[in-house]
């Protein structure tokens, strides 16, 4: 997605060979117009998928916090509800929950993520969205929750995939359609290098 790549080049800061800081439009301050564009783009990729799949997406699932804006604009395009998995159990979360463990490579700790059973049924067809894809720990936690519900997965939408880490490959090897709007090949020497792909 050209507009997103431009934004990354203009405003992203390479903190190390592994980490890109994009807090001016994605992880702290949020660019609403860009998020609307991202919602349209994910929606277009989902509609392409309908050519080979006859089930329609019924729900979007993301994880708090940075996945929420793009999940919302995508849900608006598709006219389906958006769920965000919680990282901390809320006070009012007294219902039965689906819980999965997510290992954070950056924090080196495992945390529970939680979704109320009330919002995910076996007949849902779920599209998963997250802001970054690194090793895929968060995506695997969300997949686990969808599977616990007995629901199916339509695909995985990622805003920024770091293709030099193994999360994307693992998800594609499992057969999930992965829609990444910007795929970063390398962050070496402080330079953002994108992968060549057909959806640029
Ligand atoms: P993984 O889920 O793909 O395995 O990655 P990891 O454990 O490394 O991710 C921990 C957090 O760091 C996640 O956000 C993830 O989105 C984010 N992250 C990973 N790589 C990058 C990067 O290069 N740049 C930025 N800006 N973030 C990265 P989180 O802690 O869950 O926070 P939130 O922003 O969603 O609230
Ligand atoms: Na994040
Ligand atoms: Na995230």
- Residues in the chain, how many? 200
Question: Which pLDDT does position 198 carry in this prediction?
Answer: 60
**What's the pLDDT band for 72 if we cut at 50, 70, 90?**
very high
Residue 169, both tokens: 């490959």
Q: Is the pLDDT of residue 184 over 90?
A: yes
Centre of ligand 2 from the C-alpha of residue 10, in Å: 19
The interface pTM score, or ipTM, of the predicted complex is 0.91
pTM of the entire predicted model: 0.95
Q: What class does CATH assign to 39-184?
A: alpha beta
Closest atom of ligand 1 relative to the 63 alpha carbon:
35
The answer on whether 135 is annotated among ligand-binding residues is: yes
Q: List the residue whose alpha carbon is closest to atom 16 of ligand 1.
A: 132
Closest atom of ligand 1 relative to the 132 alpha carbon:
16
Cβ partners under 8 Å of residue 24, min gap 6: 11, 31
In the chain, where the domains are located: 39-184
Which pLDDT tens digit goes with each residue over 89-108?
A: 766 766 799 999 999 888 89
């Amino acid at each position: 997605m050209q507009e997103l790549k431009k934004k990354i080049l203009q405003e992203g800061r390479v903190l190390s060979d592994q980490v890109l800081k994009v807090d001016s439009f994605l992880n702290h301050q949020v660019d609403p117009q860009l998020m609307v564009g991202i919602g349209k783009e994910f929606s277009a990729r989902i509609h392409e998928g309908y050519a080979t799949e006859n089930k329609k997406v019924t729900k979007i699932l993301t994880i708090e916090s940075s996945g929420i804006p793009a999940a919302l604009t995508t849900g608006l395009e598709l006219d389906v509800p958006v769920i965000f998995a919680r990282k901390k159990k809320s006070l009012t979360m007294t219902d039965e929950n689906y819980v999965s463990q997510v290992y954070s490579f950056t924090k080196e700790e495992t945390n529970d993520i939680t979704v109320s059973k009330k919002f995910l049924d076996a007949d849902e067809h779920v599209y998963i969205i997250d802001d970054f894809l690194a090793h895929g720990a968060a995506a695997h936690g969300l997949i686990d929750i969808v599977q616990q519900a007995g629901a199916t997965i339509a695909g995985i939408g990622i805003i920024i995939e770091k293709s030099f880490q193994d999360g994307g490959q693992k998800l594609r090897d499992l057969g999930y359609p992965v829609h990444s709007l910007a795929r970063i090949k390398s962050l070496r020497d402080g330079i953002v290098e994108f992968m060549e792909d057909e959806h640029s």
